[in-house]
């Protein structure tokens, strides 16, 4: 006995995990498959007879309308993305395949929920430019911003400052309290640096216990040293009770100024690094001298 495919088609459409929309010339939904409830939270009967544009995210409405015009002019597409607003107010990212049927006088679209894919892509883009532990800018992003800031300073004949920060005795924290605690300390340092800098510059973790701060458009060297003082004061604040007996480590901060210390990004970073190590070496010498006095 032959299979009646015509009778099966409506049932097959409603079995699809993707949602099928049929929309007329006036953008009214004339048919939508049952998968719409999982996609947008509406039952098919709630959507039928309403304008499909009512559900498009406002920020995507203009670009979607332009796409609709292209489809209705015969330019089918299979890779258009936009956002819709669900019944519960949530946002869903949709990948569309659509074409215009002149015979039916309607456009047919198949909508796939790609919200999880969009979030995964966003996470990958974030991780490409940010430190996964602290969520600060990573070395690559910081270097790009530093080079851009230097070019801007050259064009505008302005100044900028670069801070290079290293955590003192951080190895001791890892050795005594474990690397998990060390990671928590690094995150605490990152948040304190962000609070000190805010919109005035860029904070980055460039590796291990080393951080950099870019301060473009500085008013004066005095202002930069005031910012260094603010950072050191913030680092001297005790940790919360959740850290137990662990004390906040101190930091050594080196400074480099454009154009006084260097006129390119690499040399500027090297100068700040060198200044930090000079300060750290001086601190170690002072500590050794103090310990020697204590033993006498």
Q: For the chain, first and last CA: distance in Å?
A: 107
> What are the structure tokens assigned to 191, written together?
């948040």
Residue carrying the six token digits 């200044």: 275
Q: Tell me if residue 131 is catalytic.
A: no
**In angstroms, rounded to a whole number, what is the distance separating the alpha carbons of residues 237 and 189?**
11
| Cα 237 from Cα 269, distance rounded (Å) | 28
Q: What is the Cα–Cα distance from 262 to 76, expressed in whole angstroms?
A: 56
Quick one: tokens of 187? Answer: 């995150």
Two tokens, residue 150 = 């230097």
- How many CB atoms lie under 10 A from the CB of residue 139? 16
Name the CA dihedral angle for 268, 270, 274, 275, rounded to a multiple of 10 degrees.
20
Q: Residue 236 is encoded by which pair of tokens?
A: 């001297």
Inter-residue contact 108 to 98 (CB < 8 Å): yes
- Quick one: which H or E segment has residue 31? strand 29-32
What's the CA gap between 269 and 258, in Å, rounded?
Answer: 10
Distance of alpha carbon 30 from alpha carbon 7, whole angstroms: 20
Closest CA to 81 of 134, 28, 118: 118
Closest by CA position to 209, among listed 242, 239, 179: 179
What is the spatial order of strands in the sheet that 202-207 belongs to?
202-207, 210-216, 160-167, 251-258
Of 166, 209, 273, 275, the active-site residue reads 209
Q: Which residues are marked as active site?
A: 209
């Amino acid at each position: 006995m032959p299979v009646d495919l015509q009778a099966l088609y409506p049932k097959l459409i409603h079995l699809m995990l993707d949602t099928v929309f049929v929309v007329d010339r006036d953008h009214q939904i004339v048919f939508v498959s049952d998968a719409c409830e999982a996609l947008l939270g509406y039952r098919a009967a709630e959507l039928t007879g309403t304008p499909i544009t009512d559900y498009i995210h406002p920020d995507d409405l203009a670009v979607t309308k332009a796409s609709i015009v292209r489809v209705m002019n015969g330019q089918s597409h299979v890779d258009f993305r936009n956002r819709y607003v669900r019944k519960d107010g949530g946002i869903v990212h949709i990948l569309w395949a659509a074409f215009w049927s002149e015979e039916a006088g309607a456009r047919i679209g198949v909508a796939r929920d790609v919200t999880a894919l969009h979030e995964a892509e966003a996470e990958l883009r974030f991780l490409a430019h940010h430190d996964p532990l602290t969520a600060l800018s990573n070395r690559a992003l910081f270097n790009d911003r530093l080079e851009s800031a230097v070019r801007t300073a050259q064009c505008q004949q302005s100044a900028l400052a670069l801070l290079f920060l290293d955590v003192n005795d951080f190895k001791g924290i890892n050795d005594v309290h474990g690397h998990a605690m060390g990671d928590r300390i690094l995150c605490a340092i990152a948040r304190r640096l962000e609070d000190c800098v805010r919109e005035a510059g860029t904070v980055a973790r460039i590796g291990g216990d080393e951080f950099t701060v870019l301060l473009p458009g500085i008013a004066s060297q005095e202002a930069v040293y005031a910012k260094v003082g603010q950072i050191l004061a913030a680092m001297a604040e005790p940790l919360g009770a959740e850290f137990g007996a662990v004390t906040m480590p101190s930091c050594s901060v080196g400074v480099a100024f454009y154009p006084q210390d260097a006129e390119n990004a690499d040399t500027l970073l090297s100068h700040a690094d060198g200044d930090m190590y000079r300060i750290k070496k001086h601190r170690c010498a002072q500590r050794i001298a103090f310990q020697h006095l204590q033993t006498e």
